[in-house]
Amino acid sequence: MSTEAQRPSQAEPGGDGPTPVTARVPRATYRLQLQPDFGFDDAGALADYLSALGVSHVYSSPYLQAAAGSTHGYDVVDPRRINAELGGPVAHQHFGVRLGDHGLGQVLDVVPNHMAVSGADNPYWWDVIENGQASIYARFFDIEWASSDPGQRDSVLIPVLGDHYGKVLEAGEISLERDRGSFRLRHGDRIFPVAPESLGGLLTAAGREAEAEELVVIGEAFASLTVSTDSDREEQLRRHRAKEVLKLQLARLTSERPRVAAAVDNEVEQTNADVDRLDALIQGQHYRLAFWRAAKEDLDYRRFFDVTNLAGLRMEDPRVFEETHQVILGWLREGVLDGVRIDHPDGLRDPKSYFDRLHRAAPDSWIVAEKVLEPGEELPADWPIAGTTGYDFLNLVNRLYTDPSGEQPLTDLYAELTGERRTFAEVAYESKRYVIGEVLAAEINRLTEYLAAVVRGHRRHRDYTRGQLRAALRELIACFPVYRTYVRVDADAVSDADRDAVERACSTALEHRPDLPADLMEFIADVLLARATGEREAEFVARFQQLTGPVMAKGVEDTAFYRYLRLVSANEVGGDPGLFATSLVDFHSANESAARLWPTRMLASSTHDTKRSEDVRARIALLSEMADRWRSEVGAWRELSGAYRSTKIDGNVEYLIYQTLVGTWPISAERLVPYLEKAVREQKQHTSWTDPSEEYEAAVSSFVEALLADKALTLRVAAFVEELAPAWQISALAQTLLKLTAPGVPDIYQGSEIWDLSLVDPDNRRAVDFVERRRLLEVARTATAADALADLDSGLAKIWLIRRVLEIRRERPDSFGAQSRYIGLMAAGSRRDHIVAYQRGEDVLVVAPRFVSRLGWPSADWRDSSLELPSGDWDDELGGQHFSGGIVAVNDLLGRFPMAVLTRTVE
């Protein structure tokens, strides 16, 4: 644990905040994306640099054992092991020592919702599909064993085949293999276990052929293994021990007696040579190999969104929690970790119970949740955590730096270019409807079965057909206004927020579909709000709450955000592109609330999940300040590109390309083409991940390559982007300053301590040039404000600002801790709306500009604008000036550096 970590209570004494949490709170974190090409040794080598930068903790992407070659770590296959591709346990230990030597603690990204299930490297899943409900891990995964389809009951659908099962089998693409005492099925590079009880006939036949009585006995023992659907733990353990002993006996026998091995292998060959015989063996498995498209309608396990090889865990089971968290909790107790970031808690059946259990097991730990809050939504106050991971703050700052005067001009321009006149809400609704029908249909089908079980127990509603139930659910979920509700049927009451979300969704659904039975919608609302209760009702509520989040994520973030492109800086996780701007009053109000309720939350601006880096968004948002100038520029670019523009390229994609050029210039085709391929597939209108159109994607690629090869056009783009400087850089610096000083713990995404013009993953996981960043940090150690401003293009100003402000946070922890106040300040004068100012604690004031392009940078004139400073003497830690309390002209306050951090002089 870092020696500088704070240990405050999360809530103010006597305040109305959430449950108090004693936490090892970082001063600031630095996010590192570990992957095979950047492992523990590489990360540890940065310890001295990160310490000098001023952060207190390294915040690592998941590093428990992930699927082979994973570049992100979210596809964990074994939570009991450290990822070998990152260096394994020894390198991990050295990593921790290196951090500790430089006074740094660790925060780890943890994935409790799901595991990767693509092969034998996941011992839990392998055992489940080998043994079915008799597996000792049968209850680990959220599998629908009791399917309403008799053909799928007691088995797991594995949709991995490139064509229909029969065609694949008859083409000889599935075969049986022996591996010592075990057997497996192979399809290409994928392997699958063989249920031991299904091997009885093969082994006994081989035993008779080889005249090996011992093999016959082993075969009969395999065949007699029980396949009970009973979840009795002792019975599962007895079966597990028996089948493992039999495998060892078979391995020994075949290794010691070549004739026996030859007989067994001969039976394997004969099975592979006989399609019907191989088919019979395959039908005896606890899984059904199927065409990959079958997942759309028939998948029988909960997955992460639409990713079929990430299977949901039953984290509500204490045994699953203990098994998957044993290593992490050990690290938290030992001080190897000071905190954890919990990935996608909305996927869990009961997030509050999970956080309660985690907090009880690690009461001193700093816990933040990757909870996506819609605008206006509040984090559940009874979660014993420090807060969210910062998407809400990120979007608040986005809107603060989007000029409201640009809304109508940019809306008009977008409509003219694309023909799109719908609101974002309308596009989002349509996108969610698409996802429900085309991407998550299997989940809707399963939820319909749960609702059908509920209505069967209520005579007034039992005659509604599955078609009617499915239609009602589809509409209700499409209209759901937030990711999910958190109704717990065993709780004393339903929260006002949950009640409002369900009632709004029902009302909106009936507006969209007045043909739906109103009494059915009212009944579903009663169930969802625990006004109609029972065992089946409780199960339906839990399942419903686990599904609305994936629909929101896939429908809005991964579809609508690529369809509605008015100003793409607004299209960010947890954002609402329909909300153009935020006022100073609302910004201050949100931060005052955070200081009271969630003072140690995480603050983010760039993350591994953001659609664009903070600096890309800062550039693009600047267009809201110059809508007329942007209209003119777009017209010029369209005229220059007309010869290359295929009729297949619609205005929406073209406009996305132009905005992306503004945000990322200079950018190569090697980066831009893959990004646009992802964008148009996520858009799901002309092509998609499941049905890619080579012709359309080739047209987009050709257009982009032609644009970037046109010297006249690229010179024009470069000139326009140059025109945005230094305004975009000052704006980006100001937003960085807000993140560093607002209530919470600022996080710096790897590489973004200087200008970083990255797009969505995998672009934002490119290798970071730490040599250059080390060089600039060394310059920043002795640089003045004037030096930083004189070298804006290199990013020196950004790393200089970060280092200096983090130093202030270290020197004045009380001003930024859990007990520190946030007081919004309003400037006076004709340019007061361009000033963001607030007080932290008793002795720190922050002043930042906004809408900077309209201020005439680099020679900004603040005219008559002024700010009243509290009494006392104040030092500007950035510009190096001194002020006394009272009214100060902004021209004086920001005369040396375009923003200020004032600290009260200590006598």
Q: What is the pLDDT of residues 624-640, one digit of tens each?
A: 999 999 999 999 999 99
Q: Strand, coil or helix: what is 105?
A: strand
Q: 474: closest CA among 509, 439, 519?
A: 509
| Cα separations in angstroms, 285 against 114, 153, 161 | 24, 12, 16
Q: CA-CA distance, 41 to 391, in Å (whole number)?
A: 30
- State residue 227's pLDDT score: 77
- State residue 14's pLDDT score: 32
Is residue 402 a contact partner of residue 624, using CB atoms and an 8 Å limit? yes
Instruction: State the DSSP H helix or E strand holding residue 886, giving kind and residue range, or none if neither.
Output: strand 882-889
Q: 156: closest CA among 190, 133, 134, 187?
A: 133
| Cα separations in angstroms, 639 against 264, 418, 488, 699, 706 | 72, 16, 58, 18, 14
Q: CA-CA distance, 173 to 190, in Å (whole number)?
A: 11
Concatenated DSSP letters for 799-830? HHHHHHHHHHHHH-GGGTSTT--EEEE--BST
Question: Tokens 């034998």 — which residue?
Answer: 120
Q: 324: closest CA among 114, 118, 134?
A: 114
Instruction: State the DSSP H helix or E strand holding residue 748, giving kind and residue range, or none if neither.
Output: strand 745-749
Instruction: State the DSSP H helix or E strand holding residue 714, giving kind and residue range, or none if neither.
Output: helix 711-724
Q: CA-CA distance, 476 to 540, in Å (whole number)?
A: 14
- Characterize the bridge pairing of strands 287-291 and 156-161: parallel
Is residue 314 a contact partner of residue 144, using CB atoms and an 8 Å limit? no
The tokens for 356 are 């309660």
Q: CA-CA distance, 373 to 70, in Å (whole number)?
A: 28
* Per-residue DSSP letter, 691: S
Is residue 515 a contact partner of residue 504, using CB atoms and an 8 Å limit? no
Rounded to the nearest 10°, the torsion over CA 512, 514, 516, 521 is: 80
Q: CA-CA distance, 446 to 350, in Å (whole number)?
A: 19
Q: Where are the beta strands (DSSP E) in 61-142?
A: 64-66, 76-82, 105-110, 114-116
Which residue stretches of 257-340 are H helix?
Answer: 258-273, 275-283, 295-298, 318-334
- Characterize the bridge pairing of strands 745-749 and 29-32: parallel
The tokens for 749 are 């995404």
Is residue 292 a contact partner of residue 161, using CB atoms and an 8 Å limit? yes
The tokens for 572 are 């960010």
- Whole-number average pLDDT of the chain: 94
Rounded to the nearest 10°, the torsion over CA 19, 104, 390, 483 is: -70
pLDDT beneath 50, residues of the chain: 1-22
Question: Tokens 């004068």 — which residue?
Answer: 829
Q: 839: closest CA among 812, 861, 802?
A: 812
- The rounded radius of gyration (Å) of the Cα atoms in the chain is 30
Q: Which amino acid is at 609?
A: D
Q: CA-CA distance, 155 to 146, in Å (whole number)?
A: 9
| Cα four-point dihedral sign 708, 712, 716, 718 | positive
Which residue stretches of 384-460 are H helix?
Answer: 391-400, 407-418, 424-438, 441-455
Q: CA-CA distance, 577 to 563, in Å (whole number)?
A: 11
Q: Strand, coil or helix: what is 793?
A: helix
Question: Tokens 């080579």 — which residue?
Answer: 694
- State residue 229's pLDDT score: 67
Concatenated DSSP letters for 22-58? ---B-S-EEEE--BTTB-HHHHHTTHHHHHHHT-SEE
- Per 3-state DSSP, the chain is made up of helix, strand and coil in percentages (nearest 5) of 50, 15, 35
- State residue 907's pLDDT score: 62
- State residue 17's pLDDT score: 41
Q: Cis omega (within 30 of 0) on the bond before 363? A: no
- Residue 611, C-beta contacts closer than 8 angstroms, at least 6 positions apart: 561, 568, 571, 572, 573, 759, 760
Three-state SS annotation for 597-642: HCCCCEECCCCCCCCECHHHHHHHHHHHHCHHHHHHHHHHHHHHHC
Q: CA-CA distance, 892 to 900, in Å (whole number)?
A: 11
Q: Which amino acid is at 875?
A: D
* Region of residue 681 (phi > 0: left; psi between -120 and 50: alpha; otherwise: beta): alpha
Q: Which amino acid is at 635?
A: G
Beta-carbon count within 10 A of 350 CB: 18
